[in-house]
Chain A
Amino acid sequence: MNMIMETIKLNNIHKAFTLGGETVKALDGVSLAITQGEFIAVMGASGSGKSTLMNIMGCLDQASGGEYFLEGIRVDTMNKNQLADIRNQKIGFVFQGFNLLPRTSALENVELPLLYSRTSRPKMTRDRAVAALEMVGLAHRLDHHPNQLSGGQQQRVAIARALVNDPAIILADEPTGNLDSRTTVDVLSVFQTLNDNGITLILVTHEADVASYAKRIIRMKDGKIQEDRAVEERSFAAVPVSGNPKGKDENQ
Chain B
Amino acid sequence: MKWRKLIKVAFQSILKNRMRSLLTTLGMIIGVASVISLLALGKGSQEDIKKQVASLGTNMIIIHPDSTFSGGVRGGSGSQATLTMDDVASLREETEFIRYVSPDIRLSEQIIAGKNNWNTSVNGVSVDYLGIRNYTLSGGSYFTARDVKAKSKVAVLGKTVVDELFPGQDPVGTRIRIRNVPFMVIGTLNSKGQSSMGMDQDDIVLIPDATALYRLSDGKTLRAVVVSAVSEEKMTQAQARATTILRRNHKLNDDDDEDDFHISNQTEIISMAGKVTGTLTALLSAIAGVSLLVGGIGIMNIMLVSVTERTREIGIRMAIGARSGDILIQFLIEAVILSLIGGVIGILVGLGIAYGIGSVMGATVLVDPSIIVLAVAFTAGVGVFFGFYPARKAAQLNPIEALRYE
- Report A-chain residues with C-beta under 8 Å of the C-beta of B318: 60, 84, 87
A116 touches B326 (CB 8 A): yes
A89 at interface (Cβ–Cβ under 8 A)? yes
B325 at interface (Cβ–Cβ under 8 A)? yes
A112 touches B320 (CB 8 A): yes
Q: List the count of A-B residue pairs having beta carbons below 8 Å apart.
A: 60
A161 at interface (Cβ–Cβ under 8 A)? yes
Interface flags for A89-104 (1: CB within 8 Å of B; 0: not) read 1000101000111011
Of residues A93, A113, A115, which shows the largest number of chain B Cβ atoms within 10 Å of its Cβ? Answer: A115
A87 touches B400 (CB 8 A): no
Q: Measured between alpha carbons, how far is A165 from B319 in the docked complex, in Å?
A: 13
- Report B-chain residues with C-beta under 8 Å of the C-beta of A60: 318-319, 399-400, 403
Given contacts A60-B399, A99-B316, contact A89 B321 (CB under 8 A): yes
A117 at interface (Cβ–Cβ under 8 A)? yes
Q: Measured between alpha carbons, how far is A61 from B318 in the docked complex, in Å?
A: 12
Q: Which of B1-51 contact A (CB under 8 A)?
A: 1-2, 5, 12, 16
Interface flags for A168-210 (1: CB within 8 Å of B; 0: not) read 0000000000000000000000000000000000000000000
Q: Measured between alpha carbons, how far is A88 from B321 in the docked complex, in Å?
A: 4
Q: Measured between alpha carbons, how far is A115 from B5 in the docked complex, in Å?
A: 8
User: Which of B2, B316, B320, B399 lies in contact with A88, CB distance below 8 A?
Assistant: B320
Q: Measured between alpha carbons, how far is A80 from B400 in the docked complex, in Å?
A: 13
Query: Closest Cβ of chain A: how far from B4's Cβ, in Å?
Result: 9
B403 touches A99 (CB 8 A): yes
Give the size category of A's interface with B: 20 to 34
B92 at interface (Cβ–Cβ under 8 A)? no
- Report B-chain residues with C-beta under 8 Å of the C-beta of A93: 319-320
Closest to B1 in A: A115
A112 touches B312 (CB 8 A): no
B313 at interface (Cβ–Cβ under 8 A)? yes
B325 touches A81 (CB 8 A): yes
B400 touches A84 (CB 8 A): no
Query: Closest Cβ of chain A: how far from B12's Cβ, in Å?
Result: 8
A101 touches B313 (CB 8 A): yes
Closest to A93 in B: B319
A122 at interface (Cβ–Cβ under 8 A)? yes
B320 touches A116 (CB 8 A): yes
Given contacts A60-B399, A60-B400, contact A101 B316 (CB under 8 A): yes
B320 touches A95 (CB 8 A): no
A99 touches B321 (CB 8 A): no
B323 touches A81 (CB 8 A): yes
Q: Measured between alpha carbons, how far is A113 from B316 in the docked complex, in Å?
A: 10
B312 touches A84 (CB 8 A): no
B323 touches A80 (CB 8 A): yes
Q: Which of B302-334 contact A (CB under 8 A)?
A: 312-313, 315-326
Of residues B312, B317, B318, B320, which shows the largest number of chain A Cβ atoms within 10 Å of its Cβ? Answer: B320
Q: Which of A51-105 contact B (CB under 8 A)?
A: 55, 58, 60-61, 80-81, 84-85, 87-89, 93, 95, 99-101, 103-104
Q: Measured between alpha carbons, how far is A92 from B380 in the docked complex, in Å?
A: 37
Closest to B13 in A: A103
- Report B-chain residues with C-beta under 8 Å of the C-beta of A115: 1-2, 5
User: Which of B12, B16, B321, B325 lies in contact with A87, CB distance below 8 A?
Assistant: B321
Q: Measured between alpha carbons, how far is A113 from B12 in the docked complex, in Å?
A: 18
Q: Which of A113-137 contact B (CB under 8 A)?
A: 113, 115-117, 122
B400 touches A55 (CB 8 A): yes
A85 touches B323 (CB 8 A): yes
- Report A-chain residues with C-beta under 8 Å of the C-beta of B320: 87-88, 93, 112-113, 116, 161
- Report A-chain residues with C-beta under 8 Å of the C-beta of B1: 115-116
Q: Which of B117-162 contact A (CB under 8 A)?
A: none
Query: Closest Cβ of chain A: how far from B185's Cβ, in Å?
Result: 80
- Report B-chain residues with C-beta under 8 Å of the C-beta of A95: 403
Query: Closest Cβ of chain A: how far from B23's Cβ, in Å?
Result: 21
A81 touches B321 (CB 8 A): no
Q: Which of B271-316 contact A (CB under 8 A)?
A: 312-313, 315-316
Q: Please, could you name 23 A-B residue pairs with CB atoms under 8 Å apart, sorted by A?
A: A60-B318, A60-B319, A60-B399, A60-B400, A60-B403, A80-B323, A81-B324, A81-B325, A85-B321, A85-B323, A88-B320, A88-B321, A88-B322, A93-B319, A93-B320, A100-B316, A103-B12, A112-B317, A113-B320, A115-B5, A116-B317, A116-B321, A116-B326
**New A-B pairs, 16, CB < 8 Å, besides A113-B321, A116-B321:** A58-B319, A80-B324, A81-B323, A84-B318, A84-B322, A87-B319, A87-B321, A88-B322, A93-B319, A99-B319, A103-B16, A113-B320, A116-B322, A116-B323, A122-B2, A161-B320
Nearest 6 A/B pairs, CB to CB: A88-B321, A84-B323, A113-B320, A116-B321, A87-B321, A115-B1
